Amino acid sequence: MQLPAGVGWTALMTAYARAQEHALFDDPWARAAVDRAGDAARLPDGRESGMWAALGTYFVTRSLFYDRQVRAAVDDGVDQVVLLAAGFDGRAQRLGLPEAVTVYEVDTAEVLAFKDAAVADAPAPTARRVTVRVDLREDWTPALTAAGLDPRRPTVFLAEGLLMYLDEQQSDRLLDAVTGLAAPGSRFVTEWFERNPAGEPSLVSWPDERDNRTGAAVGALFRSGPPLPPAAWLAAHGWDVAAIDDVGTHAATVGRETPWMFDPAHPDGLRVHLVAGVRAR
């Protein structure tokens, strides 16, 4: 089984953080993906690497923001969950969703083939799990509806760890496509960096050169993300803001120290927007 490369590899990086987490949640699918990847997914841990400690806090705590939005939507009767750029997301299993809920995992064929093999012996999903293999820069919505998504019923769409790999036009096209599938009451939850941090101290000025190599490799994949700040961007596409935060503030509210890397008040800190929108009924 081929290991995902490039931006696909970044899904192993976020899975690695979730696999190490035990206090905020348990993620057997992340562990299964990391175990299957072996040395390719083995990253320094937070005790050895300042950069990894900061990234690990980001990846783990942001997941709680998305989890809350999914739970709130399902509590409101939404039974379609779409994970755009799903990677090794384990929500179909980890959240204990009812079996009446369908979780659509949308990602590249390479990533989803690796995931299917990795989770084959892991705990089974509680929700119905459907995989959709597409390139999200292309016209992907027909594949999602062909897989069963009903655009007449509300859906919660997650784009976790995706928009930083898209440019302004690609981000707009993605949200246009989501909007076209979003019945009233649908939600869209996502995050992105206020500026592209490629080459900045937060990615390439750590004491350990291994961190700087990882930071340079990740930075090389970054694009601009959406063209507007979160509330304006959602409004421009016909969405109301249901929740808005940033990674540093959110980390503190879930009991983790805000790393300087995600503290916008620090001279080299980054603001990473976390936002949830809702389509008016």
Ligand X SMILES: C[S@@+](CC[C@H](N)C(=O)[O-])C[C@H]1O[C@@H](n2cnc3c(N)ncnc32)[C@H](O)[C@@H]1O
Query: What is the binding site for ligand X (CB under 6 A)?
Result: 7-8, 10-11, 14-15, 85-89, 107-108, 111, 135-137, 160-162, 165
* The total number of residues written for the chain in this structure: 281
Tokens 């421009």 label which residue?
236
Q: Does residue 94 contact residue 68 with C-beta atoms inside 8 Å?
A: no
Closer residue to ligand X (CB): 172 or 183: 172
Minimum gap (Å) between residue 207 Cβ and ligand X: 25
CA geometry: angle 153, 159, 161, nearest 5 deg: 165
Closer residue to ligand X (CB): 101 or 112: 112
Amino acid found at 62: R
Give every CB contact of residue 180 below 8 A, 6+ residues apart in sequence. Answer: 141, 151
Q: Does residue 186 contact residue 152 with C-beta atoms inside 8 Å?
A: no
Token code pair at residue 86: 């799903």
Question: What is the maximal distance between C-alpha atoms in the chain?
Answer: 53
Closer residue to ligand X (CB): 81 or 85: 85
Minimum gap (Å) between residue 280 Cβ and ligand X: 27
Minimum gap (Å) between residue 222 Cβ and ligand X: 11
Minimum gap (Å) between residue 22 Cβ and ligand X: 17
- CA-nearest of 56, 2, 10 to 223 is 10
Minimum gap (Å) between residue 120 Cβ and ligand X: 18
- Integer Cα distance of 132 and 107 in angstroms: 7
Which residue has the closest beta carbon to ligand X? 87
Closer residue to ligand X (CB): 4 or 259: 4
Minimum gap (Å) between residue 10 Cβ and ligand X: 4
Token code pair at residue 95: 């959240």
Closer residue to ligand X (CB): 135 or 268: 135
Closer residue to ligand X (CB): 26 or 153: 26
